[in-house]
Structure 1
Amino acid sequence: MNKKELEKLLVDVKNGETGIDEGIKMLSELPYKDLGYATIDNHREIRNGYPEVIYCAGKTVDQVRGIAEYMITRNNNILATRATKEMYEALLEVCPQAKYNELGRVITVQVRPVEETESYIAIVAAGTSDLPVVEEAYETARILGNKVEKVTDVGVAGIHRLMARMDFIRNAKVIVVVAGMEGALASVVGGLVDKPVIAVPTSVGYGASFGGLSALLTMLNSCASGISVVNIDNGFGAAYNASIINKL
């Protein structure tokens, strides 16, 4: 429930269009709902602008399905990250409109319309191996109501590919750069644009990349200004921050 829906509920109760008992029930669950295995933060969207997101890793199929089923009763759009195909198939039983991005391991359910921004987020990726993180970021940004454009496979090993797309990248309001190996792409992009850059290190690379730690340290030590860095493989976190910036 967002602010507008809360205001409408109060008006409807006052005008007798919604029964008092029904209104009390909805308001009683406004702070949170205890499902036993999860406590759903129903107040999240009113505080932060976006409903709670389901992080599926470590949860059972039944738990993910139960959380999503309840959230839909609150008229919430659903974003579930790190989800398996089995979880998606279980969700289809209660949410026929659910969609699954298998590469990004993301389930989305659009319960109510999302008004897309005119400005766009550009997601720039170094290589095809980084695409799972790109897709997680893409689905996150879209369900949060952003126009999103992807520029992929433009890593520094063939930097002319990046230069051919720079006009398009510069016109974005905020740029998410996804790169593994040594993670140099974020520094290159950061030195060429006047927009905020959110860097996402990925766990792509050979042994000395230490599962993305090498790219993380490179991005944290970038000499290009205007770069912020999220955790390894955290496409969701990057897109969430990008969405906040894109809607300022």
Structure 2
Amino acid sequence: MLPGLSGTDSEAADRVGTLLHTPGRLGVAFSGGVDSCVPLALAVRALGADRAVAVLGVSPSLAVDERTAALGAAAKIGARVVEVATHEGDPPTYRANGLDRCFHRKDELFARIFAEVVRAHDLTAVAYGEGKTPDQVGAIAVELRERGRAVALFTRAGPEHARAVLAELPDARHESAARLLVWPPEPPAPEGGLVVVLAAGTSELPVAREAEPIARYPGRRCELAVGVGVAGLHRVIGMLDLLRSARVVVVAAGMDGALPSVVAGLVAAPVVAVPTSIGYGAAFGGLAPLLSMLNACSPGVAVVNIDNGFGAGHLAAQIAAPPTPAAGAPSWGSDGRE
């Protein structure tokens, strides 16, 4: 824990803890230094010692006293340590100490650590494609295929990312419009309540198609409906029986962003609102519907970021979870995001 915290320091730590408080385990990259001890201690404080894991990379270049010091620091914090063998000295190009050795090993090294943590703790892996090269995403796919245990999800995956993943996981489910790949292609047996995902119009469908499998793969029943915007309010009224049978409703809407407030006024279930970047100039790329949703008159509306289908589906899966998590059902709570 963090001894000696009081006043604003304690309040700040509690705020960080609120951000970390998700189902599953949290892996913290750990070296034993101050910059990794602090987030690890905050994670232990927020989640408990059984849910915060220190991930320590071990290689021939790691001095014995450095490893001993790191293990000692983790013990004082009260966290379990997972030691991941990086094998960075294996290739001749690395041992030759070439100028490009760090870059040469980077893709393989981060992919191995990514997959090792997933394997050791039976986590679900989520790889965010934007900012990663196709080779990096492909390396993650290779590691996860060889481990053969994790459910893997690749978000914001462009065409080159998709080709790299499908080359290694050819049976992965590919939602090209949503820039999403999921492997294995079939979700687990459903448990918990129903998640209904609404797309106000066809333009919102890519965001809705990202949210739907994110909610489905932790083991939730899902229904997707398209074309139920406020411009055709009779269509919303016509599906009230479905909406009122849901444990939670995800609503993706652009333009004026009014649909979540309308739906929340008709159902008792919580509504997860997703503003989209659809709309003319004054929509400001989704800012207008975001502000509209944040100012919803109807109670029970939670708002995620613009076009954030992943966040909406994740929250909906948590809300609709059964009282006791089903054994083996994956959760996006402890993901492999970097």
Shorter-chain TM-score: which interval? Answer: 0.7 to 0.9
Superposition deviation, residue 113 in structure 1: 6.3
Q: Does 1:72 align with 2:145?
A: yes
Q: Which moved more, 1:205-214 or 1:146-155?
A: 146-155
Q: 1:185 to 1:95 in 2, by over 3 A?
A: same
Q: 1:139 to 1:111 in 2, by over 3 A?
A: closer
Q: Does 1:108 align with 2:182?
A: yes
- 8 Å Cα contact 1:72-1:111 kept in structure 2: no
- 8 Å Cα contact 1:116-1:146 kept in structure 2: yes
Q: Does 1:57 align with 2:130?
A: yes
Q: 1:83 to 1:137 in 2, by over 3 A?
A: same
Deviations 1:15-36 (A, max 9, x none): xxxxxxxxxxxx7449xxx843
Q: Does 1:209 align with 2:209?
A: no
Q: Look up the equivalent residue of 2:165 and give its one-letter code.
A: L
Q: Look up the equivalent residue of 2:315 and give its one-letter code.
A: N
Q: Which residue of 2 aligns with 1:11?
A: none
Instruction: Please list, as runs of the form range in 1=range in 2, the aligned pairs for 1:87-166 lying within 5 A after superposition.
Output: 87-110=161-184, 114-117=188-191, 119-166=193-240
Q: 1:43 to 1:63 in 2, by over 3 A?
A: closer
CA distance in 1, matches of 2:218, 2:118: 14
Q: Look up the equivalent residue of 1:92 and give its one-letter code.
A: L
Q: Does 1:196 align with 2:282?
A: no
CA distance in 2, matches of 1:147, 1:45: 26
Give the gaps of 5 or more residues in structure 1.
4-26
Superposition deviation, residue 98 in structure 1: 1.3
Q: Does 1:219 align with 2:293?
A: yes
CA distance in 1, matches of 2:311, 2:118: 16
Q: 1:112 to 1:222 in 2, by over 3 A?
A: closer
Superposition deviation, residue 139 in structure 1: 2.2
- Whichever of the two has the greater Rg, that structure is 2
- 8 Å Cα contact 1:176-1:239 kept in structure 2: yes
CA distance in 2, matches of 1:172, 1:112: 22
Normalising by structure 1, report the TM-score: 0.81
Q: 1:124 to 1:111 in 2, by over 3 A?
A: closer
The partner residue of 2:307 within 226, 233, 237 is 233
Superposition deviation, residue 246 in structure 1: 1.0
CA RMSD, 1 decimal = 2.6
Deviations 1:138-165 (A, max 9, x none): 1222222221101111111110111001
CA distance in 2, matches of 1:45, 1:152: 37
Superposition deviation, residue 68 in structure 1: 2.0
CA distance in 2, matches of 1:45, 1:226: 37
Q: What secondary structure is seen at the aligned counterpart in 2 of 1:189?
A: helix
Deviations 1:47-101 (A, max 9, x none): 8x85231100111111001112212334111110111232222222221221211
Q: What secondary structure is seen at the aligned counterpart in 2 of 1:186?
A: helix
CA distance in 2, matches of 1:208, 1:107: 33
Superposition deviation, residue 46 in structure 1: 8.6
The partner residue of 2:156 within 75, 78, 82 is 82
CA distance in 1, matches of 2:298, 2:120: 36
Give the gaps of 5 or more residues in structure 2.
1-23, 26-81, 86-105, 323-338
- 8 Å Cα contact 2:253-2:276 kept in structure 1: yes
Q: Which residue of 2 aligns with 1:14?
A: none
- 8 Å Cα contact 1:201-1:232 kept in structure 2: yes
**Residues matched between the structures, number:** 221
- Moved >4 Å (runs of 4+): 41-47
Q: Which residue of 1 aligns with 2:9?
A: none
Superposition deviation, residue 43 in structure 1: 4.8
Q: What secondary structure is seen at the aligned counterpart in 2 of 1:159?
A: helix
Percentage of identical aligned residues: 44
Q: 1:220 to 1:82 in 2, by over 3 A?
A: same
Q: Does 1:36 align with 2:109?
A: yes
Normalising by structure 2, report the TM-score: 0.60
Q: Which moved more, 1:216-225 or 1:51-60?
A: 51-60
Q: Which residue of 1 aligns with 2:327?
A: none
